[in-house]
Amino acid sequence: MSDPVRVAVTGAAGQIAYSLLFPIASGQVFGPGRRVILQLLEITPVMSALEGTVMELHDCAFPLVDDIITTDKPEVAFRDVNWALLVGSKPRTKGQERKDLIRDNGPIFVGQGKALASVAAPDLRVLVVGNPCNTNCLIARANAQKVPSDRWFAMTRLDHNRAIAQLSQKTGVPAREIRNVIIWGNHSSTLYADVSHATVGGKPAREVVGDDAWIAGEFLKTVRQRGAQIIEARGKSSAASAAVAAMDHVRSFLEPAPKRQWTSAAVVSDGSYDIPEGLIASFPVRSTGKGWEIVQGLELDDAARAGIKSSIDELLEERETVSDLLG
């Protein structure tokens, strides 16, 4: 068997991690023959809760788990890791402005970025899940300059999955037969969900849906506001669906994508589609197995251009808010 993959998970006692750790340990993410070492980071006050999760992991007797390390120190959690799943972040409180949340979380990701640059494995890949994930990723990356830019991701796969689910429910076509939706921009209420290049059952999505008003209205609104809808319905934020999206993201970058298919991920912009270089923005992205590439040459209609611009403007404002944390 190959060497184990070392996977760091932050916020490891939280709801998302609880839905994430067991599938990783069982082989559902890195493969049924790939051993794993879990390196779990939490803040000191909830280390006892994390130990409860670890007890359950041990009680599952997963044959692929070589070791489970728990710590409240980033330098320990990130040592020699191949994948860092940065799930933990301070949640938004009632009445709190988004910019204040960004400022609260910023120092956390400064420290984590520095620790990753110092002790992680040379093949490190980082997925930021904790919100606001795009700008948290920007901060961590700015404080880990030795880690190549193509190793950084913020998660918009949950938005991507939500868009597929809405198309599936609208058309009655199973999610597995829906391809190439795109999430552009920020993981926030300004994201732009684009179906212009999507297919449903092999046919153009707009043709199958047959309702442009729904696409521009209810569809886009639902994808943007789904998280708030879930909080309203269950009294808690998305957890299981976020964990599944994180697993989907990782798997999407472990193997080459099928021809002419892509996923959505927030990556370091290279200037494609006039999105400023260096921003962490969501694009259509295709895995090559050894790396990844932004899908090029897609035509954007006026609605897409306007939607993307609005989301990028928000990201630029967020970057200005944390400019002092970017080194």
DSSP string, 95-140: T--HHHHHHHHHHHHHHHHHHHHHHS-TT-EEEE-SSSHHHHHHHH
Contact between 79 and 115 under an 8 Å Cβ cutoff? The reply is no
Q: Is 187 a catalytic residue?
A: yes
The per-residue pLDDT for 96 is: 73
Q: Which of 58, 160, 187, 197 is catalytic?
A: 187
Model confidence, pTM: 0.97
Q: Give the integer Cα–Cα distance in Å for 182 and 240.
A: 22
Rounded mean pLDDT of 188-199? Answer: 97
Rounded mean pLDDT of 27-55? Answer: 97
Residues ≥6 apart with Cβ < 8 Å to 233: none
User: Using one digit for the tens of pLDDT, what is the confidence trace for 198-238?
Assistant: 999 999 999 999 999 999 999 999 999 999 899 889 888 89
User: Using one digit for the tens of pLDDT, what is the confidence trace for 316-326?
Assistant: 999 999 999 99
